[in-house]
Structure 1
Amino acid sequence: MAFDGLDSDAPRFYDDLAADNTREWWLANKARYDAVVRGPFEALAAELEPEFGQLKIFRPNRDVRFSADKSPYKLHIGMVSLTPVAYYLQLSATGLLIGGGSYDVPPAALARFRELVDDDRRGPEVEGLLSALAEDDLVPMSEDALRTAPRGYSIDHPRIELLRLKHLAVGRTEPLADWMWGPEVFDIVSDAWRGVGMWNGWIAQNLGDLLMRPDRERPGRR
């Protein structure tokens, strides 16, 4: 399938799913999902892969085993690169989330990141990189950040906001816009991911093997 844009019916699909998130509705609308959501998303992934590597598109099913919300289906579709430091794209009823980095950070890697942020020389380096990314609206994903200082660090630390991070991911949201339904979305995502690549490169260089968990050491396990 040649890529000529995402489908403008995709946000409406997720609005409709939110109103009736049941297996019965899903089965009745599975062909619509394939046509207006997954098909164009797969075509976009195929266009992005030559530059950014193999991309996985997540299944629509939610893991409800440990959730009070038993709604069976996600209200978005996402793709991620198959690397420990990743690129990520998500489409929902409200628009796009474009980002990347390391989301599920192992404790040893997070501890090392905080040591670097605390360092008088390396800390400003991290700040400078993130400031450069912020010029393109790529900012740390801090929704789950600590509310106070991590153990061993002062609440008055000059880089306390970075020390509070639990995920080493950056991203930006794009509200629904006409450019998403044409080929321009490929250029916009590519440009944003090139910025994310600067952050990914820093993480890989400075945290390296600390990012690997035992269940990720074999290819294809993600």
Structure 2
Amino acid sequence: MSFDGLNPDALAFFDELAVNNTKEWWQSQKSRFTENVAGPFEALAEELEPEFGPVKIFRPYRDVRFSADKSPYKLQIGLVTRASAAHYLQLSASGLLIGGGMYQPTPPQLAAFRSLVDEARTAPDLEATLAEVRAAGFEPMRDDELRTAPRGFSADHPRIDLLRLRHLAVGREEQPDDWMWTPDALDEIRAAWHVVSVWCDWLHANIAIDPEVR
């Protein structure tokens, strides 16, 4: 399967799904999802795997067991590489989210990161790495971040913004653009993932992780 670009109908599909998030609507549009949303993502994954390793495409079904929102389907499609410090891509009605790193690190991993942030000897290398990815438009993932300093650290710590992180990931949003619907999307995404690799490489070098988690 050759990759010819993502399909702009994916934007309309997710817009419509947002107001018709039912099994009945999904069944009536399932072939559209397969052809215009999942199909291009599968072709893209095949192109990315030789360089970045095995890629998993997330299923479209939400886990609603512990959620007050019982909407059955996700309003995006995503794919991720299978390493612990992974590369990620998501397409929704608002465009692309490109990123990677460690989502929900273990408590020991998060503690190790905070020690590196706190230590004057190791912090400059971390800050230089973040400066490099920030220069390409990537920012640390701030979802679920602490509202104040973690236990054992001062609220006026010079790197408090990093100490408050709960996820060790970076991301960049891309608004819908013409290049996304052409074969050029592969080169654009690959180049962005190369930047993400700078962050993932730092994690692999400094945080105790399994590089081949399946």
TM-score of Structure 1 vs Structure 2, range by shorter chain: over 0.9
- Runs of 4+ deviating beyond 2 Å: none
One-letter identity of the residue aligned with 2:194: R
Which deviations, in whole Å up to 9, do the C-alpha atoms of 1:89-126 show, x marking residues without a partner? Answer: 00000100000000111000000100010000111211
Aligned counterpart, 1:131:
131
One-letter identity of the residue aligned with 1:62: R
Alignment of 1:1-222 (within 5 A): 1-209=1-209, 220=214
Which deviations, in whole Å up to 9, do the C-alpha atoms of 1:63-93 show, x marking residues without a partner? Answer: 0011110000000000000111100000000
| Superposed CA RMSD | 1.2
Question: Equivalents in 1 of 2:77, 2:94: separation in Å?
Answer: 12
Question: Equivalents in 1 of 2:86, 2:136: separation in Å?
Answer: 18
Question: Equivalents in 2 of 1:159, 1:136: separation in Å?
Answer: 21
User: How many residues get paired?
Assistant: 214
Secondary structure at 1:29's aligned position in 2?
A: helix
Question: Equivalents in 2 of 1:22, 1:44: separation in Å?
Answer: 28
Question: Equivalents in 2 of 1:9, 1:104: separation in Å?
Answer: 32
Question: Equivalents in 1 of 2:118, 2:205: separation in Å?
Answer: 18
Question: Equivalents in 2 of 1:146, 1:171: separation in Å?
Answer: 18
Tell whether the 8 Å contact from 2:143 to 2:166 is kept in structure 1 after alignment: no
**Matched-pair identity in %:** 57
Q: What's the CA shift for 1:208?
A: 2.1
One-letter identity of the residue aligned with 1:46: E
Q: What's the CA shift for 1:60?
A: 0.2
Which deviations, in whole Å up to 9, do the C-alpha atoms of 1:131-189 show, x marking residues without a partner? Answer: 11101001101122111000000011110000000000001000011110001111111
Question: Equivalents in 2 of 1:156, 1:171: separation in Å?
Answer: 26
TM-score by length of 2: 0.97
